[in-house]
Amino acid sequence: MAKATKKQALGRGLSALLQETPNINSASDKNADKLVGNIIELELGLIEVNPYQPRTYFDEEALRELASSIRELGVIQPITVRKLEGNKFQLVSGERRFRASKLIGNKTVPAYIRLANDQEMLEMALVENIQRKNLDPIEVALSYQRLIDEIQLTQEELSTRVGKKRSTVTNYLRLLKLDPILQTGMRDGFISMGHGRAMINIDNTEDQLAVYEKILREKLSVRQTEDLVKSLKTGSVAKPKKKAIPAFVKNSNKEFSEFFGHKIDISVSNNGKGKISIPFHSEEDFNRIKNLLK
């Protein structure tokens, strides 16, 4: 009980310090050591969302579940914010906890205070989010690409920062070469990263989309997709050849069409048998054709 009282008193003291010295913007500022690196109860209204947040989708049901947990138990793990000018702060990590706290009407949230420039902010936000397990593969790939482009990291340096093998990083980045429709399919959970990795080896966009449609239509597994792509690459999947129309049919087709006043479809199977399809466009047209057959 004594420990809990001490923690609350500490929070109030730091909050008071924040009001008295709002212009702490660097580690060399007066009282910076007393604020930066500490946890305080921070007003939600003073916090801006993170513009570098790589997560673009927040599951509403999961957010409500988290809000219910916070209502019962409080925020167990503080969010992390960086100090801005005046009494303004910006989220580094913990946006779900921030959103859930607002959802249940909380006015404050426990927050760990730190200082960071824009580049450090971007890197912290991206790396922190990459470590989470519920990002979709494209979100992870985009986060990796941003670290490479905006922080100027090599793939080797990136793999060290995020604690992943370089081959893993490369596999994610290659997903960004897929057609946007396939990337959306991965983000929406229609296909897995394994499906996407298999289709990377297809150079032609139209072929990629054709395989994607086949995966959805026939519910192909990753292994089946890999086999299909392999067959396409080796050319062992023969495209169906159009059956040659026999001369007696070809010569008579125009005559049939002129007689019935419509383009007549005549199909012939391999054994020489076939069928004649006569279209009609209304009841009157049907009766007209019927009279021609009398």
Which stretch of 65-74, 118-127, 212-221 has the lowest confidence by average pLDDT? 118-127
Q: Which two tokens stand for residue 206?
A: 């139209």
Which stretch of 19-23, 57-61, 171-175 has the lowest confidence by average pLDDT? 19-23
**In the predicted structure, residue 247 carries a pLDDT above the cut 80:** no
**What tens digit of pLDDT does each residue of 32-50 get?**
566 667 788 888 988 988 7
Confidence of residue 274 (pLDDT cuts 50, 70, 90): confident
Tell me the mean pLDDT in the region 96-105: 91
Question: Any catalytic annotation for residue 95?
Answer: yes
Tell me the mean pLDDT in the region 128-136: 69
**In the predicted structure, residue 103 carries a pLDDT above the cut 50:** yes
Report the alpha-carbon distance of residue 209 to residue 111 in Å, rounded. Answer: 46
Tell me the mean pLDDT in the region 12-39: 59
Residue 198's pLDDT is: 94
- Three-class SS of the chain: CHHHHHHHHHHHHHHHHHHHCCCCCCCCCCCHHHHCCCEEEEEHHHEECCCCCCCCCCCHHHHHHHHHHHHHHCCCCCEEEEECCCCCEEEEECHHHHHHHHHCCCCEEEEEEECCCHHHHHHHHHHHHHCCCCCCHHHHHHHHHHHHHHCCCCHHHHHHHHCCCHHHHHHHHHHHHCCHHHHHHHHCCCCCHHHHHHHCCCCCHHHHHHHHHHHHHHCCCHHHHHHHHHHHHHCCCCCCCCCCCCHHHHHHHHHHHHHHCCCCEEEECCCCCEEEECCCCCHHHHHHHHHHCC
Please enumerate in sequence order all residues whose Cβ is within 8 A of that of 106, keeping only pairs 6 or more positions apart, or say none.
Answer: 44, 70
Q: Which residues pair with 109 in a beta bridge?
A: 42
The catalytic residue among 43, 48, 60, 95 is: 95
Report the alpha-carbon distance of residue 39 to residue 75 in Å, rounded. Answer: 12
Of 85 and 32, the structure prediction assigns the larger pLDDT to 85
Tell me the mean pLDDT in the region 264-271: 73
CATH for 2-117 is 3.90.1530.10
Burial 222-241, CB ≥16 within 10 A → b, else e: beebbebbeebeeeeeeeee
**In the predicted structure, residue 1 carries a pLDDT above the cut 70:** no
Which stretch of 7-21, 62-76, 83-97 has the lowest confidence by average pLDDT? 7-21
Q: Which two tokens stand for residue 56?
A: 């673009």
Tell me the mean pLDDT in the region 68-88: 86
Residue 8's pLDDT is: 38
Q: Which two tokens stand for residue 13?
A: 């003291």
**What tens digit of pLDDT does each residue of 158-186 get?**
888 888 899 999 999 999 999 989 998 89
Of 114 and 282, the structure prediction assigns the larger pLDDT to 114
Report domain extents, the chain.
2-117, 139-234, 247-292
Report the alpha-carbon distance of residue 149 to residue 167 in Å, rounded. Answer: 18
**Per-chain mean pLDDT for the chain:** 78
Residue 86's pLDDT is: 72
Q: What CATH topology corresponds to 139-234? A: Arc Repressor Mutant, subunit A (1.10.10)
Tell me the mean pLDDT in the region 58-64: 81
Q: How many CB atoms lie within 10 A of CB 42?
A: 23
Give the CA count within 13 Å in the CB-facing half-sphere of 182: 27
Report the alpha-carbon distance of residue 165 to residue 51 in Å, rounded. Answer: 28
Length of the chain: 294
Tell me the mean pLDDT in the region 124-140: 73
Q: Which two tokens stand for residue 21?
A: 């010295």
Which stretch of 70-79, 95-104, 194-203, 256-265 has the lowest confidence by average pLDDT? 256-265
Strands 89-93 and 265-268: unpaired
